[in-house]
């Protein structure tokens, strides 16, 4: 996977702050979804939701942080989008840095 030419996106508003990164490559989307399903819980992330077919959307939380992992497959490439954010009253108290 390599970083997409899309710029990293950061956004914040009261009660929520997040950043997004996008990667593209030719990795099998099923293997990528399985990787995150296996690895995230071992790193302390609690699974909250999953919608998996040929592509997948996975949601995890860890304390007051949340992450949404989206894997999309096309005929040309596989796209991985990761959005990680801080949820709650202290979301905008970290000086605008990504969680």
Neighbour count for residue 39 (Cβ, 10 Å): 10
Give the tens place of pLDDT for each residue, 5-47: 666 666 666 766 788 889 999 999 999 999 999 999 999 999 9
Q: Is the pLDDT of residue 53 over 70?
A: yes
Count of structural domains, the chain: 1
pLDDT higher for 99 or 48?
48
Q: Is residue 99 part of a domain?
A: no
Q: Is 52 exposed, middle or buried (0-12, 13-18, 19+ CB in 10 A)?
A: middle
Q: Is residue 38 part of a domain?
A: yes
Q: Is residue 67 part of a domain?
A: yes
Q: Is residue 56 part of a domain?
A: yes
Q: Whole domain around residue 41: which residue ranges?
A: 2-87
Q: Is residue 25 part of a domain?
A: yes
- Per-residue burial over 65-88, b if 16 or more Cβ lie within 10 Å, else e, is bbbbbbbebeeebbbbbbbbbbbe
CATH number at residue 16: 3.30.530.20
Q: Is residue 97 part of a domain?
A: no
**Would the pTM of this model clear 0.85, i.e. be above it?**
no
């Amino acid at each position: 996977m390599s970083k997409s030419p899309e710029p990293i996106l950061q956004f914040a508003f009261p009660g929520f702050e997040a950043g997004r990164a996008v990667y593209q490559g030719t990795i099998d989307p099923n293997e990528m979804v399985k990787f995150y399903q296996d690895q995230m819980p071992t790193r302390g992330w609690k699974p909250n939701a999953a919608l998996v077919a040929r592509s997948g959307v996975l949601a995890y939380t860890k304390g007051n942080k949340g992450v949404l992992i989206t894997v999309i497959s096309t005929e040309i490439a596989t796209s991985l989008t990761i959005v990680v954010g801080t949820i709650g009253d202290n979301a905008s108290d970290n000086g605008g840095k990504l969680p």
